Amino acid sequence: MYSRRHFISSVAALAGLPSAVGAAQPNACNEWSGWNAFRDKFIQADGRVIDFSADGQSTSEGQAYALFFALVANDRPTFERLLEWTRSNLAGGDLSSRLMAWKWGQRPDGNWGVMDRNAASDADLWLAYVLFQAARRWHDKSLRAMAELMQARIEKELVVQVAGVGPVLLPGPQGFALKAGGWKLNPSYLPLPVLRGLASEVPSGPWSSLAKTTLTLFESVTPRRLVPDWVAVWPERGFMLDAELGFEGGHEAIRTYLWAGMMSRQDPDRARLLERMKGMAALVDQLLVPPARVDAFSGQAQGNSPAGFSVALLPYLDAVGAKISAERQRLRIVAMGGIPSVYYEQALGLFAQGWIEQRFRFAADGRLDWGMTATCKK
């Protein structure tokens, strides 16, 4: 019988992340070596997360993900450096007054700074969520105040009420309106546990309603039980696949399987969401490896994905009971020499590793439960 314990132990030898993706032994002083290596590789001393595969640029997504990992690791010094760099360089020194600029790097004039002031809503959403959870963990009123102001700004600038649909989250303030009156949306920007967590902290906000419309989104655009990178929403007509946006699901959509796989088993909508994604499990079982791209309309798959896709799918494959496929992905990662030292793949891997090692869990209400990273009293 391929038990859950077997699933966790089967990834213990997984090489290529900053440390092995595997089952840590319960220990209140257990350091997260994977986080330590990620921090040493990708985070400057001043708190900037560097994507070496993109000319040394930084993104709001990278900063938000790293803040999540630092919180899970109970690494407050790094958390503070990450937050200060983010505030100073992506938000003009005040996260309460503006959304984060999504891209920072070396500009054509040779100077370093913001390259694109448009926001990426997933990063702002994750950051507001992380600040709420950090305020809980460290009993810090200033972090909670910052979180409340951030979520209010996200609601004001990024949440749109669509007639006949309800609230939707735009990917950014600019560039996502469609000519005929609809909007372009990114399903991977909508992790249900994060929306649940914001709803728990600010019940008066749009987050509970947004979680409901997000589930409707997934049920409307997955005819082959596969998630696309981009979809459209139209007043009165709802969510749908759009030929002009393309039906491809790849680099963006891979995160949707990761977010769903990490949902609480007590979440009332977990089974419904996983049902809308079961096409990926079928393809992985058929092809033995995750495809690099899928056509969400036809169900066709193309190309072999990088190793980072395999590790990102581990929580999802466990959640849908695809134990043999999960074992194959573990073996694939080892056979490929591990996860490449590329920011995006390493970040996906660190989410999966932290979840597999039970370093964090999302509760049914979205609040973060941290496991084996408690402060060690020496």
Cα(64)–Cα(122) distance, integer angstroms? 9
Per the rule left: phi > 0, alpha: psi between -120 and 50, beta: everything else, 56 is left
Give the Å distances, CA to CA, from 100 to 54, 115, 170, 181, 206: 19, 12, 14, 26, 20
Question: Would residue 122 show up in a list of annotated catalytic residues for this protein?
Answer: yes
Residue 72 dihedral angles phi and psi, to the nearest 5°:
-60, -40
The total number of residues shown for the chain amounts to 378
| DSSP line for 6-42 | HHHHHTTTB-SSSS-BS-PPP-TT---HHHHHHHHHH
Among 75, 122, 242, 318, the one annotated catalytic: 122
**CB-based contact 282:224 (threshold 8 Å):** no
Q: Which residue has the tokens 């913001």?
A: 114
**Is-catalytic flag, 157?**
no
Q: What is d(CA 172, CA 157) in angstroms, rounded to the nearest whole number?
A: 8
Catalytic annotation, residues:
61, 122
